[in-house]
Amino acid sequence: MARKHYNDPTANHAIKNVERALRGAQNRRAGGQFEGLIEASLSWYEERGLACIEKTPEAMKPLTRPNRLRQFLACYTKKCQPDFKGTLKGGRSFVGEAKTTDADKIDQKVVTEKQTERMKKHHALGAACFVLVSFGFQDFYRIPWEVWRDMAEIYGRKHLKQPELEQYRVEYINGVLKLLEGVELKYNTEKGEKNGIGKSSDLK
């Protein structure tokens, strides 16, 4: 049913606020589901001794003093840290920011300025940095930070279309996102060879 048009600007404003709140709630649920899937998949790698990567706790700001039960009122502060940080076998750091969308494209601006600043610093120090993207919770991609950062130069715009991301697709096998498949672990300067986590067929 089409939404009726209201001439009352106050009513229109209220409706838009409700719709915005509903979209925000849906996005948060989708984001939470995606992060949960990532956490479960990273545990799969940890069990095999290939990585130790954890979800970054969300920062909170206390609003009241703790009571006798050490309970207090708090609110989440604006997020600035990447979602996942840890270490790969061999010692290399891994940093990942998770984003979800129901559209057929993902905008660069979904990674905030503060998150971008942190990702740039980790990347400059040699960490394996990626933006992990879910399209409709059905298709998953691991986009290298340098591609995300330079998308305007590479693609001529500040968004990525899903069909362009096939080379970054992450396989979902037996309930596990193979997020770390092929990630470079270290570089052998003597032989000039890069070593990384094996293919999905090798990670049973």
Helix H or strand E encompassing 146? helix 145-149
Q: Contact at 8 Å (CB) between 145 and 48?
A: no
Residue 23 has pLDDT above 60, yes or no: no
What does pLDDT average to over the chain?
81
Q: How many CA atoms lie within 13 A of 139 on its CB side?
A: 17
The pLDDT, as a whole number, for residue 181 is 94
What average pLDDT does the segment 178-199 reach? 70
Q: Contact at 8 Å (CB) between 158 and 109?
A: yes
The three-point CA angle 98-101-102 to 5° equals 155
What average pLDDT does the segment 74-87 reach? 75
Residue 105 has pLDDT above 50, yes or no: yes
What average pLDDT does the segment 104-126 reach? 96
Of residues 46, 35, 26, the one with CA closest to residue 132: 35
- 74, β-bridge pairs: 62
Residue 144 has pLDDT above 80, yes or no: yes
DSSP H helices in 58-172: 113-124, 145-149, 151-155
Q: Which two tokens stand for residue 184?
A: 């470079």
Helix H or strand E encompassing 30? helix 9-47
d(CA 59, CA 76): 6
What average pLDDT does the segment 172-183 reach? 94
Of residues 127, 67, 58, the one with CA closest to residue 92: 127
Whole-prediction pTM value?
Answer: 0.75
